[in-house]
Structure 1
Amino acid sequence: MRRDVLELRQFYATPLGRAAREMVSRKVLETWGDARELDVLGLGYATPFLGALTGSARRVVAAMPAQQGVELWPAERRNLVCLAEEDALPFQNAFFDRILAVHALEESPDPVRLLREVWRVLSPTGRVVVVTAARNGLWANAERTPFGHGRPYTRSQLADLLREAGLEPTGWTRALYVPPVSWLANWAEGFEQAGSRLWPGFAGLVLTEAVKESFAIKARPARVRAAAPRPGLAPVPVNRTPVSRTPEPR
């Protein structure tokens, strides 16, 4: 059962939640850069980590699972979030250049089907970053945080899951070395610096990047049930090869 969207929002308003947001956002920027003139999708509950990308990306939208619930985002502009079924995202094939999945896999009833939808809406040259709780990390057992629920993963388990969905892992990193204790949140930066050098295997989160393997899987056609959200940012005119003709996995 997924955490309610209100629980997730409350967590990211706490000192621990703010520390998690800062550490993960940094890793995403290190991996992708500023995503200039790219179309970006946040899947699960990824909105706390998308703010750094909205200034340069051509389009940033988010999809939240129906079992979780949805909230408006961003607060100061037109809503860019939609409620969606995990196995039927309301987007056309091969549309997004970057996909960030946070709080998406751990509590999914069928993570392979969810990742196959990621495969479907990811462009042929696109990249996805999946953030999950690390099985051997302290955060996987911290039930007062969203990362303490559902299935945590090791690096190899996550790689196997991605390959089963037709996504090939290309890199990985770790984040969130601070113990999940509120009064230690102010020292999160120090834990991050020391942990990556002294005890890298005890990070709270594992982040894996993957690319699309064309013609790698057979999946049923998606059932689109809702119109795509209308982003508030006007698209930036660029020369871009259309991607909507990419064959849909069968």
Structure 2
Amino acid sequence: MLMRSDPNRLLDAAAFYESLRGRRATHLVTERLKALLPDPARKRILGLGYAQPFLAHWPGLASAGWVGSARLKTSMTQRPPRLPDADWMRRDCIVASDCLPFDDLSLDVILVVHGLELAGQAPLLRAAWKALADDGVMILVVPNRSGFWAHDDSTPFGYGTPYSAGQLDRLLARAMFRAEQTATVLAVPPPILRLGKRTAGFIDRIGCVAGRRLGGLHLVVARKDLYAGLPLQPEKATLPLPRQVADMAHARRCSMREHS
């Protein structure tokens, strides 16, 4: 059964990522994420939700212009993770999902993990849209509704509202984002991770070949769609020829009356 977010029952995310299953899940996800992550050099990067384990494995992150992380008040644990010390770990804050404490257009990349499924959809995406620069990107890691991980509440991915591929695409479009790249990962069921890294990796690669439907997590790189909110110019309707002649005749009669 799919489960809603319950802060009182939510598994401590830090404890999961410190466990054997958590470390192997992190390895599989980061291996797939590497192909989607942009070059962090001179970029302002924010990890939103609980992205610390994945930020810690982002190649070249030390060259970024600014890196921070923000945990959501409604769902994230208060316990800090035990990760190697880094400057960006000291720039950590807890925020409301609908109000990010960053200036408009101030961020280049937002990595969202354990965020979208646990927070309000529209408020979170709207806040991210405002904080991103015009050429900024948002990278989402979201549980797949039809995958194994969304149905296992022994992991942080088993809480909140998972999404199918179509639901996620429509949600992003309504929030004025355009999905540029998509991938899937963790097609392997959670218990299989205990069998070994190679076995889990092999099964995961086979499952992910089937596409976004069988993967445990959706990986999406979305860019701001600056033209999504602009109204379309109404096209001039093509009138039938008799109607055009009648309208022209009427306009000519009105013009003659004005000059008489």
What TM-score do you get using the length of structure 2 for normalisation? 0.76
Q: Which has the larger radius of gyration?
A: 2
Match of 1:76 among 72, 80, 85: 85
Aligned to 1:62: 69
Q: In the alignment, is the contact (CA less than 8 A) between 1:132 and 1:207 conserved in 2?
A: yes
CA distance in 2, matches of 1:167, 1:189: 31
Tell me whether 88-97 or 3-12 shows the greater mean CA deviation: 3-12
Q: Which amino acid in structure 1 is aligned with residue 174 of structure 2?
A: E
Deviation per residue, 1:99-141 (Å, 9 max, x gap): 1101001121x21110001101111011111111111111111
Inter-partner Cα distance in structure 1 for 2:206 and 2:228: 40
Worse overlay, 145-154 or 182-191: 182-191
Corresponding residue for 1:28?
A: 33
Q: Structure 1: which amino acid aligns with 2:85?
A: E
Distance 2:221 2:210 in 1: 24
Which amino acid letter does the alignment assign opposite residue 125 of structure 2? Answer: L
Match of 2:177 among 160, 167, 182: 167
Partner of 2:249: none
> Is 1:104 aligned to 2:81, yes or no?
no
2:149 equivalent to 1:139: yes
**CA 1:38–1:124: 2 relative to 1, 3 Å:** same
**Which residue among 190, 209, 217 is the counterpart of 2:221?**
209
Structure 1 counterpart of 2:207, from 179, 195, 212:
195
Question: Structure 1's 6 and 176: CA in aligned 2 closer, same or farther, altered over 3 A?
Answer: closer
Determine if contact 1:124/1:214 at 8 Å carries over to the other structure: yes
Matched AA of 1:25? T
Asked if the contact 2:21–2:190 (Cα under 8 Å) also holds between the matched residues in 1, the reply is: yes
Q: Relative CO higher for 1 or 2, CA cutoff 8 Å, sep ≥ 6? A: 1
Q: After superposition, what is the alpha-carbon deviation per residue over 1:196-247, rounded to whole angstroms, capped at 9, x for unaligned?
A: 33576321101111111226459xxxxxxxxxxxxxxxxxxxxxxxxxxxxx
Q: Which has the higher helix share?
A: 2
Equivalent residue of 1:86, what SS?
coil
Identity level (%): 32
Task: Check 1:17–1:158 CA distance in 2 against 1; reply closer, same or farther (3 A cut).
Answer: same
The corresponding residue for 1:157 is 167
Task: Provide structure 2 residue ranges, at least 5 long, that are not aligned to the other structure.
Answer: 231-260
Check conservation: 1:34, 1:56, Cα contact below 8 A: no
Structure 1, unmatched stretches of 5+, are 219-250
1:150 CA drift (Å): 1.1
Contact 2:207 2:215 in 1 (8 A): yes
The structure 2 residue matched to 1:43, chosen from 28, 44, 48, is 48
The 3 A distance-change label for structure 1 pair 175 and 146 is same
Please tell me the residue identity of whatever aligns with 1:8: A
